[in-house]
A and B are shown apart, each in its own frame.
Chain A
Amino acid sequence: MSTGTGLPGAGLPGTGLPDAGLPGVGLPVTGVPGADPAGTGPGQPAGAAPALPLPGRARRFQVPRSPKIIIGLVMLAGFLILAIVGPLVAPYNPSASASTTNGVPQPPSAAHWLGTTQLQQDVFSQMLTGGRSTILVAFAAGLVATMLSVVMGVTAGYRGGLTDDTFSMLANFFLVLPALPLLIVVFGFLPPSSGSNDLLIGLIISVTGWAFGARVLRAQTLSLRNRDYVESARIVGERGWRVVVFEILPNLTPVVAASFLFTVLYGVGTYTALAFLGLVNPEHWSWGSILFYAQSNEAEISGYWWWYMPPGFAVAFLGTALALLNFGIDEFINPRLRAAGLSRRRTGKAGRGKLPRRFVLGVTPVIRAGEGGRP
C-alpha cells in the first residue's frame, strides 16, 4: 500500500476520490479536483515500508488502513459468514420444542448453548437461523436504496432546474416523514403471506431509506458538476450519461459507499423493529422475531437474559460494524475528523490543547515522515 508515499493523482480526471467533505455538515470544499486523499491522509498509519506507488487505476480501490475500517470489515465479514452458513450448522430446528412439558425457559447449558425459550426451543439455533434473514433484508434494502439514491441524487444534481426541484422535493418529503410509523401502516395492511419474503421486505424498507443518500449525493454532484474536467468532457462532446458515469460517478465512490452502509444500518434497525412488533410473520426466524417472542413472554422482567440478549447484541454489533466502516469512510473523505494521528502526537510534544492543528492536504505526509508505526 502506498499510503503516505503515493503521489496524488491530481489533475487526472476520474482517477481520484473526492476531497470534499460531506455537504450535510457544511464543510468547505478544498483542494485540487481529483486529488487522491488516499495518498495524503495525515491520520493513516504509514505502511511499514514505503511501497512503490501503484498505477493510478489500481489505486482507486485502495482501502485506507484505519483501525475503524479494519475492525468494521472483520466484524462484517463474520456476520456475512454467519448469514451464509448459520442455518446449515444450527444444531436444532429453531421452531422445534425439545420438551412439551416444561414451560420455563432454561438457562444456557451444554445441550443448549444459549438456553431455551419457554417452548423449549433452542435460542442458539434461532440465532443462527435468524441471522440470514436479518442480513439479507438489510443488504437488499441497502442495495435498492443506494441505487435509488444514486439515480435520484446524481440526476437531480447534474440536470438541475425542474428535475432538481422535483427530485429534491420528493427526497425532502421522505426525509421528514417518520419512516417507521409509515412502514408499520404498510406492513399492517400487507397479507401475512408476504411477511416471509425477505426481498419484498427489503424492497419496501428501501423506499423509505433512499432520501438521505440522495440528498448528500445531489450536493456532491453539484460541487463536481462545474469543475474543469467535467466541463472539458462536456466541451469535447461526451454525452450526458457518459459524463455522469465516467467522470462524476467515480468521484462519488466513497459517498456512495457511505450511503450504502448507512442504508444497510437503517435496514437492520428497521427490519428488527418491524419483526419485534410482530408485523413480519414471527414464524419466519430473524433476530427481530426472537425479540418479539422474548418481549411477549416478558423475558426482560423475568430475568431470562439469554433469550433477549443474543439477538439484541447481534443487531447492535452488526450495526456497530457498519457504523465503524462509515466513520472510517467519513474520515477518509474529510481528514480533519480523524481523532488519532497527528494531533495526539503533536499535542503530546507541544503541550496539550494549545492550538488547533491545521491540516493541509498534501503536506501532512511530509510532517509524518519518519514517525512510522501505527497510532
Chain B
Amino acid sequence: MRVLIRRIAFYIVTAVAAITVDFFIPRVMPGNPVSAVLARLQGQVTPSTISALEQQYGLKTKEGLWGQYVHYLQNLVHGNLGISTSNYPAEVTTVIRSALPWTLGLVGMATVVSFVLGTLIGIGVAWRRGTWLDNVLPATTFFQAAPYFFIAFLALDLFATRLGWFPTGRAYGQLDFPAFSATYVGDVLSHAVLPALTIVVCSAAGWIVSMRNVMVTTMDEDYVLVAQAKGLPKGRVVWYAARNAILPSVSGFSLALGFVVSGALLTEIVFSYPGLGWILLQAVGERDYPLLQGIFLIITFAVLAANLAADFVYVLLDPRTRQEA
C-alpha cells in the first residue's frame, strides 16, 4: 500500500504543479496577448465580463502575484474556470462538460481495444520470432511515426468519401436530435468507428513493439524452458510468459497515454467529432484563452487519473509491489 500512497502523493503534487503552470503561462508571455483579445472583445460582451476576464488574468488589478494565485485557486476549487469568450455567454465548464463525454467515450474505448489487441499481436509476433510475422514490425514503425491526424485523413478519404461506408464526420446524424433509442445508438456507433479505428491503428503499434520486445526476453527465461521441457501445452506456456511480460507494458501505460490523448484530440478535429479536440481547435482559432486553459487542466486531470488507475492495476498484477520492504 505504501507504493500506492506514494504514487497518489506524486499525482497530487503533479496536479498542483500543472495548475501552477497554467496560472503562470499567460502572465509570463511577452506582448500581453490577453489585452489584445480583450480589446477586440470590447462591445461584443458586457463590461462586467471584460472586468471579470481582466481580473482572471491579473490585468488592471492592484493585487500582487500571490493574491492573484490564491484567487485563481479559489475559483478552481469552486469549479469556476471563467467565461468562454468564443461561446459567450457560456461558462468554460459548461462548454467542456458538453464535449467531455464524447472524448472520454472515444479515447477510453479506443485505448482499451488497442491495448488488448496490440498486446495480443505482440505476444504472437514474439512467440513466432523468426517467421514471416517479423514483417509486422516494420509496418508498425510506419504507423507509430505517422501523425494520427494523417491516418485520420486517409481513413476519411478512403472509407467515408470514396467507399461511403461511414459518415464523413460528427458524432451523430445532424437531423437526429439526441434521443435515446436503438437507431440513435447505432448512429453514434457508426460515427465513432472511423475515429476509433484511427486511434487503435496508430496506438496499437506501440503496444505491439513493447510487448514483443519484453516477451522475447521473457521467453529466454529458465522457467519458460522448464515449462516447455515438462510438456505443458503451448498455450499454457505462452500464458505463463505473457503474464510476466505484460508488466512493463502496464507500467509504460502512463508514458503512452499522453501521446494517445494528444493524437486523439487531433483525430477528433479531422472528423469534426464534437469532443475536447474540436472545441480546442475553436479555442485556438478564436484565441479563447479561458477555454484553452480549462481544456488543458481537464485533460491533465484525466490523464493523471488514468495513470493512477494504471498504477492500481500494476499493484494488483505484480505481487512484488505489495510486499512491504
Distance between A153 CB and nearest chain B CB, rounded to angstroms: 15
Cα–Cα, bound, A186→B33 (Å): 11
Q: A337 an interface residue at 8 Å Cβ cutoff?
A: yes
Contact indicator A273/B147 (Cβ below 8 Å): yes
Contact of A176 among B25, B129, B303 (CB under 8 A): B303
Q: A48 an interface residue at 8 Å Cβ cutoff?
A: no
Distance between A195 CB and nearest chain B CB, rounded to angstroms: 12
Chain A residues contacting B242 (CB-CB under 8 Å) are none
Contact of A301 among B26, B131, B168 (CB under 8 A): B168
Distance between B276 CB and nearest chain A CB, rounded to angstroms: 9
Chain B residues contacting A217 (CB-CB under 8 Å) are none
Chain A residues contacting B300 (CB-CB under 8 Å) are 177-178, 181-182
Contact indicator B147/A347 (Cβ below 8 Å): no
Contact indicator B292/A339 (Cβ below 8 Å): no
Q: A26 an interface residue at 8 Å Cβ cutoff?
A: yes
Q: Which of A11-33 contact B (CB under 8 A)?
A: 21, 24-27
Contact indicator A312/B292 (Cβ below 8 Å): no
Contact A336 B258, CB 8 Å, known A181-B300, A190-B29: no
Contact indicator B147/A269 (Cβ below 8 Å): yes
Chain A residues contacting B210 (CB-CB under 8 Å) are 25
Q: B157 an interface residue at 8 Å Cβ cutoff?
A: yes
Contact indicator B141/A323 (Cβ below 8 Å): yes
Q: A265 an interface residue at 8 Å Cβ cutoff?
A: yes
Among the stretches B42-50, B87-95, B179-187, B248-256, the one at the interface with A is B248-256
Distance between B24 CB and nearest chain A CB, rounded to angstroms: 11
Distance between A114 CB and nearest chain B CB, rounded to angstroms: 15
Contact-size category for A: 35 or more
Chain B 288-321: CB-based contact to A (< 8 A → 1; otherwise 0): 0100110110011001100100000000000000
Contact indicator A337/B146 (Cβ below 8 Å): no
Distance between A49 CB and nearest chain B CB, rounded to angstroms: 27
Chain A residues contacting B219 (CB-CB under 8 Å) are 356
Q: B71 an interface residue at 8 Å Cβ cutoff?
A: no
Chain A residues contacting B29 (CB-CB under 8 Å) are 186, 189-191
Distance between B294 CB and nearest chain A CB, rounded to angstroms: 10
Contact indicator B14/A337 (Cβ below 8 Å): no
Across the two chains, which residue of chain A brings its CB closest to B36? Answer: A191
Contact indicator B31/A191 (Cβ below 8 Å): yes
Chain B residues contacting A269 (CB-CB under 8 Å) are 145, 147
Q: A164 an interface residue at 8 Å Cβ cutoff?
A: no
Q: Which of A297-334 contact B (CB under 8 A)?
A: 299-303, 305, 308-309, 312-313, 315-320, 322-324, 327, 330, 334
Cα–Cα, bound, A68→B142 (Å): 13
Distance between A350 CB and nearest chain B CB, rounded to angstroms: 11
Contact of A186 among B25, B130, B146, B149 (CB under 8 A): B25
Contact A339 B134, CB 8 Å, known A21-B217, A26-B247: yes
Q: B21 an interface residue at 8 Å Cβ cutoff?
A: yes
Q: B160 an interface residue at 8 Å Cβ cutoff?
A: yes
Cα–Cα, bound, A352→B144 (Å): 30
Chain A 216-247: CB-based contact to B (< 8 A → 1; otherwise 0): 00000000000000000000000000000000
Contact of B281 among A176, A277, A309, A337 (CB under 8 A): A277
Q: B233 an interface residue at 8 Å Cβ cutoff?
A: no
Contact indicator B138/A273 (Cβ below 8 Å): no
Among the stretches B60-68, B73-81, B265-273, the one at the interface with A is B265-273
Cα–Cα, bound, A356→B218 (Å): 10
Contact indicator B289/A188 (Cβ below 8 Å): yes
Question: What are 6 of the A-B contact pairs (CB < 8 Å)?
Answer: A176-B11, A176-B303, A180-B262, A300-B157, A319-B146, A320-B141
- In the A-B complex, list the 3 residue pairs whose CB atoms are closest, starting with the nearest: A319-B145, A180-B262, A312-B150
B residues touching A (Cβ–Cβ < 8 Å)?
10-11, 13-14, 17-18, 21-22, 25-26, 29-31, 33-34, 127-131, 134, 137-138, 141-142, 144-147, 149-150, 152-154, 156-157, 160-162, 168-169, 210, 213-214, 216-217, 219-220, 224-225, 228, 247-248, 252, 254-255, 258, 261-262, 265-266, 269-270, 280-281, 283-285, 287, 289, 292-293, 295-296, 299-300, 303-304, 307
Besides A27-B217, A177-B300, A277-B269, 18 new A-B residue pairs in contact (Cβ under 8 A), listed by A number: A24-B248, A25-B214, A176-B14, A178-B258, A178-B303, A180-B266, A182-B296, A184-B296, A269-B147, A272-B147, A273-B149, A301-B156, A303-B157, A309-B154, A316-B145, A318-B145, A327-B137, A343-B129
